[in-house]
Structure 1
Amino acid sequence: MRILVSHVNYPAQFRRLIFHWSQSGHDVVFIARQSEWHSPSPKGFRVYFYENTRSSNTISLHPYLNRFESAILEGQSVFRIARQLRDSNWIPDIVISHLGFGNGLFLSDCFPHARRIGYAEWFYNSYNSDVDFLSSEVVSDDHRLKLRCWNSEILLEMSTLDYLIVPTCWQKSQFPSIYHNQISVINDGLNLPLLSNIKHANSVDFNFLPNDPNLEVLTFVSRCFEEYRGFPQAIRTISALQKLRPNLHVIIVGEDGAAYGHPRSDGVPWSVWAIKTLNLDPLRTHWLGLVQENVYLQVLSVSDVHFYLTVPFILSWSLLESMAVGCSIVASSTPPVMEFLEDGLSALLVDFFDVDAQVQAINTLLSNRKLASRYADAAMNRAEALSFDKATESWDTLLNA
Structure 2
Amino acid sequence: MNILFIHQNFPGQFKHLAVALAARGHSVTALTLRVKEPATWRGVRVLPYTIQRKGGQQLHPWLVDMDSKVTRAEACFHAARRLREQGYQPDVIIAHHGWGESLFLRDVWPRARMGIYCELYHLAGYPHLNFDPEFRGRDEAIEPLRIRMKNLNNHLHFDMAQAGISPTRFQADTFPATFRPEISVIHDGIDTGQVKPDPEVRFELEEGGRVLTRDDEVITFVNRNLEPYRGYHIFMRALPELLRARPKAQVLITGGDGTSYGAKPPEGKTWKQIFIDEVRDRIPDEDWARVHFLGRIPYARFLDMLRLSRLHVYLTYPFVLSWSLLEAMATEAAIVASDTAPVREVIEQDRTGRLVDFFDPDALTAEICALLDDRAARERLGRAARAHILENYDLGRICLPRQIDWVERLAAMPAPPLPE
TM-score clears 0.5 = yes
Partner letter of residue 393 of structure 1?
A: P
Distance of 1:188 and 1:87 partners within structure 2 = 33
Instruction: Tell me if the contact between 1:56 and 1:66 (Cα under 8 Å) persists in the aligned partners.
Output: no
Give the aligned partner of residue 401 of structure 2.
Answer: 393
Partner letter of residue 349 of structure 1?
A: L
The 10-residue stretch of structure 1 (352-361 or 234-243) with the greater mean CA deviation from structure 2:
234-243
CA shift for structure 1 position 191? 0.2
**Residues 168 and 17 of structure 1, relative CA distance in 2, 3 Å threshold:** same
**Residues 277 and 146 of structure 1, relative CA distance in 2, 3 Å threshold:** closer
Instruction: Tell me if the contact between 1:58 and 1:66 (Cα under 8 Å) persists in the aligned partners.
Output: no
Distance of 1:108 and 1:99 partners within structure 2 = 13
Deviations 1:178-216 (A, max 9, x none): 3221211111111011113x324x352425546688620
CA shift for structure 1 position 125? 0.9
**Residues 71 and 26 of structure 1, relative CA distance in 2, 3 Å threshold:** same
Find 2:105's aligned residue among 104, 107, 110: 107
**Residues 135 and 88 of structure 1, relative CA distance in 2, 3 Å threshold:** same
Question: Any idea what SS the aligned residue of 1:312 has?
Answer: coil
CA shift for structure 1 position 242? 1.0
**Residues 75 and 369 of structure 1, relative CA distance in 2, 3 Å threshold:** same
**Residues 2 and 123 of structure 1, relative CA distance in 2, 3 Å threshold:** same
Question: Any idea what SS the aligned residue of 1:299 has?
Answer: helix
Partner letter of residue 189 of structure 1?
A: G
Partner letter of residue 76 of structure 1?
A: E
Instruction: Tell me if the contact between 1:209 and 1:249 (Cα under 8 Å) persists in the aligned partners.
Output: no
Question: What aligned pairs does 1:224-235 form with structure 2 within 5 A after superposition?
Answer: 224-235=225-236
Question: Any idea what SS the aligned residue of 2:193 has?
Answer: helix
- What is the TM-score of this pair, normalised by structure 2? 0.88
Question: What aligned pairs does 1:117-156 form with structure 2 within 5 A after superposition?
Answer: 117-135=115-133, 140-156=140-156
Instruction: Tell me if the contact between 1:221 and 1:252 (Cα under 8 Å) persists in the aligned partners.
Output: yes
Question: What aligned pairs does 1:44-123 form with structure 2 within 5 A after superposition?
Answer: 44-54=43-53, 59=58, 61-123=59-121
Deviations 1:332-352 (A, max 9, x none): 000000011111221110111
Instruction: Tell me if the contact between 1:158 and 1:164 (Cα under 8 Å) persists in the aligned partners.
Output: no
**Residues 386 and 9 of structure 1, relative CA distance in 2, 3 Å threshold:** same
Question: What aligned pairs does 1:26-45 form with structure 2 within 5 A after superposition?
Answer: 26-34=26-34, 42-45=41-44
CA shift for structure 1 position 150? 1.2
CA shift for structure 1 position 266? 5.5
How many percent identity over aligned positions?
Answer: 33
Distance of 1:248 and 1:203 partners within structure 2 = 17
Give the aligned partner of residue 314 of structure 1.
Answer: 320
Deviations 1:305-354 (A, max 9, x none): 00010000001100011111111000000000001111122111011110
Partner letter of residue 348 of structure 1?
A: R
**Residues 269 and 397 of structure 1, relative CA distance in 2, 3 Å threshold:** same
Q: Which has the higher contact order (CA 8 A, sep 6+)?
A: 2
Give the aligned partner of residue 237 of structure 2.
Answer: 236
Distance of 1:370 and 1:157 partners within structure 2 = 50
**Residues 282 and 109 of structure 1, relative CA distance in 2, 3 Å threshold:** same
Question: Any idea what SS the aligned residue of 1:31 has?
Answer: strand
Give the aligned partner of residue 300 of structure 1.
Answer: 306
Question: Any idea what SS the aligned residue of 2:142 has?
Answer: helix
Distance of 1:58 and 1:64 partners within structure 2 = 14
Instruction: State whether structure 2 residue 384 is matched by structure 1 residue 383.
Output: no
What RMSD in Å do the two structures reach over aligned CA positions? 2.1
Give the aligned partner of residue 250 of structure 1.
Answer: 251
Instruction: Tell me if the contact between 1:94 and 1:115 (Cα under 8 Å) persists in the aligned partners.
Output: yes
Distance of 1:213 and 1:350 partners within structure 2 = 25
Partner letter of residue 395 of structure 2?
A: F
Instruction: Tell me if the contact between 1:366 and 1:372 (Cα under 8 Å) persists in the aligned partners.
Output: yes
Q: How many equivalent residue pairs?
A: 394
- What is the TM-score of this pair, normalised by structure 1? 0.92
Question: What aligned pairs does 1:274-293 form with structure 2 within 5 A after superposition?
Answer: 274-279=275-280, 280=283, 281-293=287-299
**Residues 352 and 371 of structure 1, relative CA distance in 2, 3 Å threshold:** same
Instruction: Tell me if the contact between 1:217 and 1:249 (Cα under 8 Å) persists in the aligned partners.
Output: yes
Find 1:365's aligned residue among 364, 367, 371: 371
The 10-residue stretch of structure 1 (262-271 or 229-238) with the greater mean CA deviation from structure 2:
262-271
Distance of 2:54 and 2:364 partners within structure 1 = 43
Partner letter of residue 54 of structure 1?
A: R
CA shift for structure 1 position 55? 5.1
Unaligned runs of 5+ in 2: 410-420
Instruction: Tell me if the contact between 1:254 and 1:289 (Cα under 8 Å) persists in the aligned partners.
Output: yes
